[in-house]
Amino acid sequence: MKIVFRRLRLRYILVLSSICLFPVPIASAADDVRTRKISVGPGVEKVWSPSQDRIIHTRQGGQISHRGHGIDLELFRRLKSQPFIPSDKLPAIEEDSSVSALKPEPLAPNLSDSFEGLDNLNQPDGHIHRPPDPILAAGPNHIGVMVNSELAFYTKTGTLVQEGSFSSWWSNVYSGTRGPFDPRIIYDHHENRWIMLTLVKDEPEAWYLLSVSQGSDPTGSWWNWKLDSTLEYGGEDTWGDYPDIGFDGITSSDGGAIYITTNQFTWAGRFKTSRLNILPKSELYTGSSLSYWKLSGRTNEDGSQAFTLRTAWTHGNPGGEFLINSKSGGGNFVTLWKVVPAFPNEPAWTRQATVSIGSYSIPPDAKQKGGSAVLDTIGNRIYNCMYQNGYLYAAFTEAYDWGSGTVAAIRYLKVNTSSNSAELDVTYGADGYYYWFPAIYVDSSDNIAIVFARSSEDEYAGIRYTGRLTTDTDTQPSAQLKAGETYITGLRWGDYFGIARDPSDGAKVWIYGEWAKDCSGISSDWDWGTWIGQVEYACYVDPLGSCGGNTPCYFTIQAAIDATHSGYTIKIAQGGYGEDLTLSSSKDLNLQGGWNSSFTAKLSTTTVNSLTISNGSITVDNLVIQ
């Protein structure tokens, strides 16, 4: 299909308010709170081009994208180097026992599958790039990933099916020379659509490059848009940085929306405000002319500008979209927001609550094995959030001293959106180790999975993961997805990791991160690789021992019961098992029988001779006791 090259022109339709302007991030009731409606032309159709041989240039040129921290850089440096000072109110402190041989606890959740993702070798545009900013989404049959230069789609067994550079993908709407950066990708499981987003900074212009699939198959046709990300605020021009993209649980026919946020910086690099764009699914998902709302100027309860607003990936339908932000530079609260779209009318955006949590402060940069160079942990900004069953889950990085000095640690939250309280407020890490870039999600049973980066003076930067079952009283010990293998000399190593739930199997969560890979022919300041994993709170039973390639795999049901952690699901291949099952320790398990040989569907039942429970409980599904 022919690709049409066309620029889209933006036109303001309605200006609702323009109050007093103040060029400072600390605001008052008289601040510049703006709501505007924007209209652009239809999406420009994009199809995949045939794969071509790539010419790889050896020069080490590439893109290092600017990202402001939202506060004075010298102040930010001093905050990173300050010692951790305990406050009167602290979160739950939970140390990662995987670093200690004194606690041989089971690691969780189970890693069902993993494979290598993109790296800084053989980039489609022929150059090398940093930081990679790995981000991921999961569809019915594919995994979509993006890094700061390219996009790719894999089968769920790790076969690369499509790959392309950002400059090529969006060439039908953007023909400039500035490289797109800060990628985001989501899969709206309510409507079965993929959405990709990158940014362009090309002073005095700046753009959102947006792409929406025409169906659930990412190898099919898409629509592309170029939307203006500049904003005049407080008498100064700004451009959009560090984006996020989320979706509500409302269908397109009922007025559902996609939500894009950015931090707005002046061209000199000073943070001014956050911007929210609310785009109707009904127009995005049909490729038609697009009218959407852009809003800015919202403040926290203390008058400071909301910084790094995160939009929820919404499961269920709470009647709108939740957003959340921490306070730049540290604080003792997060702000919970809710947006109710009302297309074509103005949406309602309210600060629902200021949620009190334990105090947090800027984390130090991460030390690593091999030398004195450190890796940027980029402050207290929240990296992602998701909503399910009345709760919003979010995570960020903070400073904490476990006893041997201040390091970077994970803070994660489970916020009750009815009571506006944090039911989980947890600091997680270990003495002498640096934990950063946490991304959080829950499976369909509300069990938590978290992926993150870790390093220490004795450990290269790698990818690890952990979790928390609904029955757990503490965060579980972490496990390794991919170990780092080299020393990195470039400070700005990355910005975030990726995580998403599998829409075809709600028990599975996909994780994606960056590791210190020694890329042949590339200097250490440009070295990086990525790795993809699938985790779940489940194990498998198959008398043939294959389990469709899933792990851990057991030959007998009793072996799985004995080895499995409380709260897990045991998936059992269909057929008859001549076993007498006994649960003799304190566990709560879910046994699911009747699975086919590939464990992709439950087709019939599984039979066993008997079941004895002496301590704990077992829930059965498609399991017949003879």
Q: Of 376, 508, 383, 384, which is closest to residue 442 (Cα–Cα)?
A: 508
d(CA 560, CA 170): 49
Residue 28's pLDDT band (cuts 50, 70, 90): very low
More confident residue, 352 or 606: 352
The per-residue pLDDT for range 337-389, each reduced to its tens digit, is 999 999 999 999 999 999 999 999 999 999 999 999 999 999 999 999 999 99
Question: HSE-up of 91 (CA within 13 Å, CB side)?
Answer: 32
Amino acid code (one letter) for 316:
G
The per-residue pLDDT for range 120-157, each reduced to its tens digit, is 988 888 888 888 999 999 999 999 999 998 999 999 99
Residue with token string 């779209």: 341
Say yes or no to pLDDT of 51 above 60: no
Which pLDDT score, from 0 to 100, does residue 563 have?
87
More confident residue, 578 or 314: 314
Which pLDDT score, from 0 to 100, does residue 122 have?
80
Which pLDDT score, from 0 to 100, does residue 450 have?
97
The per-residue pLDDT for range 224-256, each reduced to its tens digit, is 999 999 999 999 999 999 999 999 999 999 999
d(CA 400, CA 410): 9
DSSP 456-520: ETTEEEEEEEEEE-TT-SSPPPPEEEE---S----S---S--EEEE-TT-TTEEEEEEEE----T
d(CA 437, CA 496): 5
Residues, the chain: 626
Its pTM stands at 0.88
Q: Of 42, 41, 49, which is closest to residue 10 (Cα–Cα)?
A: 41
DSSP state of 580: E
Order the strands of the 222-228 sheet from edge to edge: 44-46, 222-228, 205-213, 193-202, 181-188
d(CA 70, CA 58): 35
Taking residues 181-196, report their average pLDDT.
Answer: 97
Portion of the chain with pLDDT greater than 70, in percent: 86
Mean pLDDT score across all residues of the chain: 86
The per-residue pLDDT for range 287-310, each reduced to its tens digit, is 999 999 999 999 999 999 999 999
Which pLDDT score, from 0 to 100, does residue 77 have?
59
Which pLDDT score, from 0 to 100, does residue 89 have?
62
Phi (first) and psi of residue 557, to 5 degrees: -70, -40
d(CA 450, CA 511): 8
Q: Of 249, 261, 274, which is closest to residue 184 (Cα–Cα)?
A: 261
Amino acid code (one letter) for 163:
E
| The CA-based dihedral angle spanning residues 470, 472, 475, 480, taken in that order and rounded to the nearest 10 degrees | -80
Residue 186, Cβ neighbours under 10 Å: how many?
23
d(CA 312, CA 248): 7
Say yes or no to pLDDT of 63 above 60: no
Which pLDDT score, from 0 to 100, does residue 423 have?
96
Residue with token string 């039908």: 172
DSSP 355-421: EEEEEEEPPPPBP-TTSS--B---TT---EEEEETTEEEEEEEEEEESSSSEEEEEEEEEEETTTTE
Which pLDDT score, from 0 to 100, does residue 9 have?
29
Order the strands of the 623-625 sheet from edge to edge: 575-583, 606-613, 623-625
Cis before 23 (ω within 30): no
The per-residue pLDDT for range 34-46, each reduced to its tens digit, is 777 777 777 777 6
Taking residues 567-590, report their average pLDDT.
Answer: 89
Region for 370 from its dihedrals, namely left if φ exceeds 0, alpha if ψ lies in -120 to 50, beta otherwise: left
Taking residues 468-488, report their average pLDDT.
Answer: 93
- CA 120 → CA 130, 520, 522, distances in Å? 8, 10, 8
d(CA 120, CA 523): 11
Order the strands of the 529-536 sheet from edge to edge: 110-119, 529-536, 508-515, 498-501
The 3-state secondary structure of 120-169 reads: CCCCCCCCCCCCCCCEEEECCCEEEEEECCEEEEEECCCCEEEEEEHHHH
Domains of the chain: 75-536 (2.130.10.10), 540-625 (no CATH)
Residue 566, classified by CB atoms within 10 Å of its CB into exposed (0-12), middle (13-18) or buried (19+), is middle
* Whether 622 contacts 599, CB under 8 Å: no
